[in-house]
Chain A
């Protein structure tokens, strides 16, 4: 149960369907903008992070985002999930 997300520079990210399937990613798969791999990889990492810690009782670690990625990532997320 995996889906494949492809970035604008040709990197393929294979993620579990249940982690990634929000309205936003469905939109992206149909008719999305070109998303660079550095942004898409961070988004995929976040999906896993969210899935892991949402229903657990362990301490939630920090999720670091590099400053140079943050703006593009925010714009992508805002587009996918306004």
Chain B
């Protein structure tokens, strides 16, 4: 049970011209029977949408994960009104009315990831040829826990399917391969990443060692070829998802790297650090393409007022033209790829994580006190040039682009050196 509040509010833009500022659409707060207590782990460390956009998951602290069907509107219809507004149609949703689920994980939940579902045709073909393996043809949520366990849940029913053991410390982040092959990657404070095969009852198939400090984040490229991991020793590692070996180390950050994300066409990688920078990389060559520096908007009144703009989270928008960042200076920023300064800001205290709704239009953020907010995201109609670039880069590496018999300017455009 939780209380809900609906706010409509245009945030002050602190003197900047108002351009596409994120509007707060809704805020969800967990209803807690006991007193609010900073020490008892009430943070929302992770938020996630299922890849088909039908569910939203939120680790609301106190060991609880909430699963909410998306879109949210139905939740706000008070009882008694339902009959009037739906008098002409019986429950027409094919699968009935999916209700929210509460998952009690028994300990602090740090990482969340949905599996891709419905399964792509390639997976259904695979399952037909492997009849001895149970076909997990349902939407799955993986939860990374405080003691290193990973619990695998079936979303529709809220049932616990599997318990994966192996990590020795907090599982901070999780990522499923986008192909639907049910391979799961986990990132942990025990300095390793692990690869799990959910087709084989969660068998651990590989341990990736090499990081020297906590691994904060992992992300698999949409073309499933690369895995990115970000850690406390300031480095970012790129691994091959085919051989599970290290491809390269990306150096450039000056402090712990805590968040990473690939662009939808796998051509770009962004990483966010406590050093107040987001770096945009070409993952194929390791080149740094952009530094997005998070500076103070107002000069501080005195030393005690200095807010350090450590980054907490960065994510790409679904069409690949914008980034959202959450920083400790209490701002949610929206960036357009080709510009060096943000295009919009919204005040957001104690933000920890952010993610875009897969079909665009909404950004979800989670905070230290267990709340979740939903913000409007810029509505984007991609240019035909960008759509072509995205289509090409979804299967061409940077080196393949450079080998094409096309003019230099077009190569620069396709490799995101120019926009």
The residues of A with any CB-CB pair to B shorter than 8 Å are 43, 46, 50, 53-54, 59-60, 62-67, 70-71, 73-75, 77-78, 81
Contact = CB atoms under 8 A, between A and B. Distances in A.
Given A59-B360, A59-B361, A65 B387 contact: yes
Contacts of A43: 384
19 contacts: A50-B381, A59-B359, A63-B387, A67-B392, A67-B394, A67-B395, A70-B388, A71-B388, A71-B392, A73-B388, A74-B414, A75-B406, A77-B384, A77-B385, A77-B388, A78-B385, A78-B409, A78-B413, A81-B385
Nearest to A71: B392
Interface residues of B, number: 23
B404 interface: yes
Given A60-B380, A60-B381, A77-B384, A71 B404 contact: yes
A70 B381 contact: no
A74 B385 contact: yes
Among B389, B391, B410, residue most surrounded by chain A Cβ atoms (within 10 Å) = B391
Contact of A78 (B359, B361, B382, B410): B410
B250 to A, nearest CB: 28
Contacts of A74: 385, 388-389, 392, 410, 414
Contacts of A62: 319
A74 B385 CA distance: 6
A15 B413 CA distance: 29
A54 B385 CA distance: 16
Interface in B364-419: 379-382, 384-385, 387-389, 391-392, 394-395, 404, 406, 409-410, 413-414
B381 A54 contact: yes
A56 to B, nearest CB: 10
B384 A67 contact: no
Nearest to A68: B391
B219 to A, nearest CB: 21
A60 B379 contact: yes
Interface of B: 319, 359-361, 379-382, 384-385, 387-389, 391-392, 394-395, 404, 406, 409-410, 413-414
- Majority secondary structure, A binding face: helix
Contacts of A59: 359-361
B332 to A, nearest CB: 21
Contacts of B414: 74
Contacts of A75: 406, 410
Contacts of A46: 384, 387
A65 B388 contact: yes
Nearest to A53: B381
A64 B391 CA distance: 8
B384 A66 contact: no
Given A64-B391, A73-B388, 5 more contacts: A46-B387, A54-B381, A60-B379, A67-B391, A74-B389
B362 to A, nearest CB: 10
A31 B402 CA distance: 30
A66 B392 CA distance: 9
Q: Which of B361, B381, B384, B387 has the most CB of A within 10 A?
A: B384
B222 to A, nearest CB: 14
Interface centre among A64, A65, A75, A77 (most CB of B within 10 A): A65
Name the residue among A74, A77, A78 with the largest chain B CB count within 10 angstroms: A74
Contacts of B385: 74, 77-78, 81
B106 to A, nearest CB: 38
B185 to A, nearest CB: 26
A60 B357 CA distance: 13
A50 B389 CA distance: 17
A13 to B, nearest CB: 15
Given A59-B359, A75-B406, A66 B380 contact: no
A66 B391 CA distance: 7
Given A63-B387, A75-B410, A70 B392 contact: yes
Contacts of B361: 59
A70 B360 contact: no
Nearest to B401: A71
B410 A63 contact: no
* Shortest beta-carbon contacts, A-B, top 4: A74-B388, A70-B391, A65-B391, A70-B388
Contacts of A77: 384-385, 388
Nearest to B404: A71
A65 B387 CA distance: 7
B8 to A, nearest CB: 16
Contacts of A73: 384, 388
A54 B387 CA distance: 16
A43 B360 CA distance: 23
